[in-house]
Amino acid sequence: MRSAPLYSADVISRWPFYASVAVLGGECIACFLAGSIELGARGAMVPIDSAESTEQARFAIELFAIGGLNLVGFVAFLLRRSAWGWWLVLGMQVGVFVLALIEGVLTDIGWFYFSSLPLLSLFLLLAFRKQDARLKPSLQGNPTAYLTR
């Protein structure tokens, strides 16, 4: 009885999906971690009752909200691997990037630093999607084998 190879063709063809899951999960963790750090360092440099401290608390709450929205999109993408889940995730990345740029201009320069995270995630997800399309077999031959994946 022969054993299956260590790296099967099925796992190799699914690596773009696994990489997309890792990017989205890492982005969620990064948002929650950044919000926790911002909230924890709120009273370190300025008094806790100052306006700057209130601004840092608002920034932390917005980071937690963005992390929560990313988590909802991540779960939708993970559970339903359909086109609407993919477009939801991409739309959220673009929306968070635009929000971060607008907030960076209007309120706090820290948003400019944060805006690189959804932009990097967007480019990585698009690259993984392109690679996934390249790895998919064409419909020539047996189309039922392609549709049952």
98 falls within a domain: yes
149 falls within a domain: no
88 falls within a domain: yes
31 falls within a domain: yes
pTM, whole model, 2 decimals?
A: 0.74
Contact between residue 114 and residue 63 where contact means Cβ atoms under 8 Å apart: yes
Contact between residue 128 and residue 23 where contact means Cβ atoms under 8 Å apart: yes
61 falls within a domain: yes
81 falls within a domain: yes
**With DSSP H G I counted as helix, E B as strand and the rest as coil, what are the percentages for the chain, rounded to 5?**
75, 0, 25
6 falls within a domain: no
Q: What pLDDT, in 10s, does the model give residues 108-140?
A: 788 888 889 999 999 998 888 888 777 665 545
146 falls within a domain: no
- Half-sphere exposure in the Cβ direction for 20 (13 Å, CA): 26
Domain that holds residue 88: 11-133
> What is the CA angle 46-48-50, rounded to 5?
70
Q: Taking residues 58-85, report their average pLDDT.
A: 86
Q: With 0-12 CB in 10 A as exposed, 13-18 as middle and 19+ as buried, what is 79?
A: exposed
pLDDT of 138: 53
Contact between residue 39 and residue 48 where contact means Cβ atoms under 8 Å apart: no
Q: Kindly tell me if the per-residue pLDDT of 141 is higher than 60.
A: no
Percentage of the chain with pLDDT > 70?
78
pLDDT of 52: 76
Instruction: Give dist(CA 4, CA 14) in Å, integer.
Output: 17
Number of domains in the chain: 1
Contact between residue 111 and residue 104 where contact means Cβ atoms under 8 Å apart: yes
